Chain A
Amino acid sequence: MTITEIQDDIIADFSLFEDDMESKLFYLMDLGKRLPPMTPAHQTEEYIVKGCQSKVWLFPVFEEGKLFFEADSNTEITKGLVSLLVKIWGGKTPEEIMSSELYFIEKIGMSHMIGSQRSNGFSSMIKQMKMYAFALNKAQ
């Protein structure tokens, strides 16, 4: 699936909850719980995303020109958010990641998750993942 298709899928899933923010957050936490566990050795200070209120770890794995991510967080909602990013960008090429627009967050009614003090971390996660894509692209 393309980045656009995956985002549209996510938007369709969340649209079932209409305006029920509580259910959306519960669902988001459930998605976070399904994130595969990180390799403990990768869950280090070095891979903590800076600028998040809660702790987020992101570990990039490069394989055959594609980028995969291991991720975790100490808070459930943030873990849910990062799991969405992993779903959208995991297994994509650096070009695909760098040229993509993320529009799902507004569409699922969670734009208040970005930019506000509560989770400026979300923008930091996006930036960090794009940095990894940039680095991989240069190395190739």
Chain B
Amino acid sequence: MSSTLLDIDSIRKQFPILHQKVNGKDLVYFDNAATTQKPLTVIDALNTYYSLHNANIHRGAHTLADRSTGLFEATRKSVQAFINANESEEIIFTKGVTESINLVAQSYGRKYLTAGDEIILSQMEHHSNIVPWQMIAEETGAVIKVIDMHFNGELDMQHYQSLLSVRTKIVSCVWASNALGTINPIKDIIDLAHQFNAVVMIDGAQAGSHIEIDVQDLAIDFLALSSHKLYGPTGLGVLYGKRKLLETMPPYQGGGEMIKEVSFEKTTYNSIPFKFEAGTPNIGDVIAFNEAIKYVTVLGKDAIAQYEQSLLTHFVNGLYALQNTFGEKAISFIGTAKNKVAVQSFVMENKHHFDIGLMLDAKGIAVRTGHHCTQPLMQFYGIEGTVRASFAFYNTVEEIDILLESLKKMLERG
């Protein structure tokens, strides 16, 4: 057993979904990069909200409306503290990382991009950090440039520097890659971009649950997070933006909540964050998300990261052992950067990832197989897809051994 500050047994008790059989075997959930499971506190908060507090927020003067507004805004404050934002008004609730990026692309992009301006992305971006930029580039005549990668899954920072110029208006980059696990040096990426007065959007989908976040220290301009990858409810995310940027940006959608005054002649918009939160928001999930943030905060990102790294090391060593037995080609690692979150992608010789996924499912093991919404990255490696195991603090080395054992059996069959 790896030593850890975390009490994994009692943590696992807090996640009811983990305690079930799949195909007759104990569920082993290694698809945490796709979505994380929810602790009881989050599930209970949803139940409590709909049982006791449900009311529309920022409107009626009645007691329930007051209560739900208070709880809703409390989450905004928690997110502010979680990422060390300067003010809670800089926290906007969205549907998720995807919507957060679309919001910035559509609102900031449409206002500030003109023909010939450049947007820098990286080779390892998730489709949701590619397509919104392609859409706005097509509309404005802006051009997309792509940062090259080394074979181990690290960005080519020299190439990045060579791409930066006065034409660079936006750099949008993933903090931790969902397919490779690579943690990118975003401090350097941001500092360099700022030398050219470009704004930087960080896709924090995979970083949120593993890495300590301080948006002020890193000088992040825009940060996108998804609640569901952070042990919170689905369909909810966060966009952080610096006040001075958000204030100059036009609204993204029109409707209730986002206005100050409406007449048919002229409408004036509400201030941030409400300007960007048109319509009744996802109140129940926002309120429950607070419990997820508390859960992660109480465990502590350092303790989480340390334990998850021990899981990753155990798995990687297990894969090396399989290589020793069955030959180096039997398993190829995809993503071997020095600095990684607890994600390992791999491919197996003469075995399609589709078959591996189904074989593992037969043993109750959930991994992700395919291109992980990163097709340009798969093209870089010249593969169709990978098998990806991604770990969370409720996973154990015993579970990893079950996975390794299943892979071994597949290799033995040839």
Contacts and interface: CB of A to CB of B under 8 A. Distances in A.
A56 B413 CA distance: 23
A118 interface: yes
Contacts of A75: 352, 354-355
Interface string B347-383: 0000110110111011100000000000000000000
B317 interface: no
Contact of A19 (B24, B358, B359): B24
Residue in B352, B355, B409 with the greatest tally of chain A CB atoms within 10 Å: B355
Contacts, number: 37
Contacts of A118: 354, 357-358
A99 B409 CA distance: 41
Interface string A102-115: 00000000000000
A42 B222 CA distance: 53
B413 A76 contact: no
A56 B137 CA distance: 37
Nearest to B362: A21
Nearest to A80: B355
B23 interface: yes
A22 B413 contact: no
Given A21-B24, A54-B352, A77 B358 contact: yes
Contacts of B351: 76
A29 interface: yes
A140 interface: no
A39 interface: no
Contact of B359 (A25, A53, A74): A25
Contact of A77 (B24, B354, B409): B354
A62 to B, nearest CB: 31
A80 B6 CA distance: 44
Interface of A, helix, strand, loop or mixed by DSSP: helix
B330 to A, nearest CB: 16
A136 B219 CA distance: 68
Range for the number of chain A residues in contact with chain B:
10 to 19
A25 B356 CA distance: 11
A47 interface: no
B362 A78 contact: no
Interface string B331-360: 000000000000000000001101101110
Contacts of A24: 362
B363 A22 contact: yes
B352 A25 contact: no
A25 B352 CA distance: 14
Contacts of B357: 118
Interface in A1-53: 19-22, 24-26, 29, 53
A25 B358 contact: yes
Contacts of A22: 359, 362-363, 406, 409
Interface of B: 23-24, 351-352, 354-355, 357-359, 361-363, 406, 409, 413
Interface of A: 19-22, 24-26, 29, 53-54, 74-78, 118
Given A77-B354, A118-B357, 10 more contacts: A22-B359, A22-B406, A25-B358, A26-B413, A54-B352, A75-B354, A76-B355, A77-B359, A78-B354, A118-B358
